[in-house]
Structure 1
Amino acid sequence: MGRPVVAIVGRPNVGKSTLFNRIAGKRIAIVEDKPGVTRDRIYAEGEWLNKYFTLIDTGGIEPESKDIILSQMRRQAEIAIETADVILFLVDGIQGLTPTDREVAEMLRKSKNEVVLVCNKIDYNALNESIYEFYELGLGEPIPISASQGLGIGDLLDVVVEKFPSEKDTEYDDDVIKVAVIGKPNAGKSSLVNRILGEDRVIVSDIPGTTRDAIDTRFEVNGDKFVFIDTAGLRKKKKIYENVERYSAIRTLTAIERADVCLIMIDATEGVTEQDKKIAGFAHNNGKASIIIINKWDLIDKDDRTYLKFKNEVKTKLAFMDYAPILYISALTGQRVNRALDLIKQASMNHSMRIRTGTLNDIIGEAVLMNQPPSDKGRRLKIYYATQVGVKPPKFVIFVNDEELMHFSYARYLENQIRNTFEFKGTPIQFEFRQKGD
């Protein structure tokens, strides 16, 4: 039945993201004293008393707002409410009960879900009396906490886990493929995630920078489990003016580090830019499996040479990751998007592949027979044996007589021989050369 879902909702600036970070155990959501900073639903894994659940942070609800972004934030919060098993309705104990709180409470009463009323910013005992006015909302006894100080969080979570439906799966699972969707702003990252998921999980608009946080969305199809991480687009550093934009760039880099597979989104109408190369470089340098997604392919005027010309541009400018498959799509129309999941599964499998030591040494031995190792000043490189020492990405240690004799071109030759046998499509592989005895 899936994992229990806990959503944190409330009007803007009551401390939802602070509580989200406190329960998640790390600083995931952007926290800034400015209403509207959290725009999308942000997902994280939570755990209490060995029970695992999905935690959702939402943008603040402004019930009557006509502003397009605020309206979408309200819709995102409504979707979170519909999805959740338990809703944490957060109110501000210092500011007191407001008309917006009453309107949100009315919305929650209609949802028929489990609602826990949480009174935040109760930092000392003198403020405890301020919680009584919230009984007026008719949502039961308010639980006093201080998200910033960490007060009352354990008591709150005790109540939350008791409300989980018995049929929900609260066990830990590690067979999930984590997918980071990365690229420049407005490349279509959110549109791709929405198209794959089949619903509007992420706010999509033509305003660059709409997605500010890295957003985790769990997804399961045919028994395969995925977590999609839709990230804020990386801008060039000189264009990062706000603190919020700086945080977003950090979130993107953190998303790459957490991911198994990176989908590198490139806007076909702009081609491969320097910024695209840098973003792809982050994934490559972190050893992540990668797939290059050329989006907005439907907007390109084509002739019989367009595809080959664009492919050559990608291969030239992203030559350092020639292992990555290229998929040409339109997230808007859905063209070829259905192939993405198969490529993700293949790249993830190759990212975790292990080769038996005997088989690996057979490949290396045959490669040496076909092409003798290089020599320098009368000394020839000798390869003794090889072994795989890690996965994600696959890493091999090759023992030699003198590691300084190993030329880059010969190392690449050995990599190609291994790839010719096992393919390793979608994943980098790493080599370390050691002198025998080291």
Structure 2
Amino acid sequence: ELDTSKVRPSRRAALNTSTKPQRINEVQPLASSRIPTGILELDRVLGGGFVPGTAVLLAGDPGIGKSTLTLQAAHKYAQATGRAVLYVTGEESAEQVKLRAERLDCLSNELFVVAETMLDAIRNHIKELEPALCIIDSVQTLYDSELPSAPGSVGQVRECAAGIIMQAKSLNMPVILVGHVTKEGTVAGPRTLEHMVDTVLNFEGEKFQSFRLLRASKNRFGSTGELGVFEMRQEGLVEVENASKVFLDEYDNTRSGCAILPAAEGTRVLLVEVQALVSPSPMSSPRRRFTGLDQNRAHMLLAVLERRAGLRLSQLEAYLNVVGGVMVDEPGSDLAVCFAVASSAVEQKLPPATVFIGEVGLGGEVRSVTHMQQRLDESAKLGFQQAVVPKLRGENVRAPEGLRLIQISNLRQGLEKFYLVGKHDE
């Protein structure tokens, strides 16, 4: 018989299991595959709600609103299920959490809070209460007295998280582990933590912007392409249903260097403004700064504009920004970026009520992208009148009513149509 007396508790639980192998066709599914959280934007990213026994890692910069989101989710979940929800805080006292709950209007008889960092004590609370949901804020504060390392160390975070996750799965209880993000943008603690959980949610936003974006970088039970949009207000995080309208509220089409991009985020299309500023450089090595865009892709597009479209950019500084703190990382943004840069370079504004959709290759060719119909439909719904798109060869895409399609096969051809480069410029 296997001696488990010297094995750590988190590992001993796995060794003492009595589960036997089953044929996959004979496995009985759970009665309820998903339980909605009550927060529609969170449900969208999760794929419809929590799967029983799922482990979710919520990562984000300090002060971005992770504790606010989890407290609101705990309150909504307690109301939706009518069962106990346990909120474990290792960074605040129970009294501080109560004050925040009052401000957020998140007081519920079924919401239990405990200020605790010891792993054994937390596991005992879970065993006694048997909550419908457990939230650990944050996983970096957990401490196992049987381990010699300090709280927050790689070993402590990994073993404590393993202990909580195993218990959650044995009880079919969803658990949210809140984790801080380092300056490099990775979850503080071991990278193995991301492999231990079922879902990794990233909570993003600019420090001086009120909007917050929720994305899934890993989701065993749903898509990783969905996007949830929130606005931070005095009363807490408020869901933003029509995010495109909010992001374009202050759009001014009288300036050069501004282009509108219908960005696809999962099943949602988000219209955002791409801004470019090109100016002479006083230095021998011009500066290039990009916010909200992939750095490597932006550099590539500047090179394509110079080599394939004839724009002289090598001695000019270039600054690119996606308004609203949104991070756009998809090929469909290429055309909007190129037109914004060209517009700024020649100081000529782009036509009003126009969107730009398409991928740009190294040869300057413009390629089609996914979700073209959804992008066009959303653009038309918001009142845009024309869209610059790649040649639609055999694609089942129709122009929505009121939206004119301008099809181009290469970047230079498109820039010439809008007089951003001359037909004989080299």
TM-score with structure 1 setting the length: 0.28
The structure in which a higher percent of residues are helix is 1
TM-score with structure 2 setting the length: 0.29
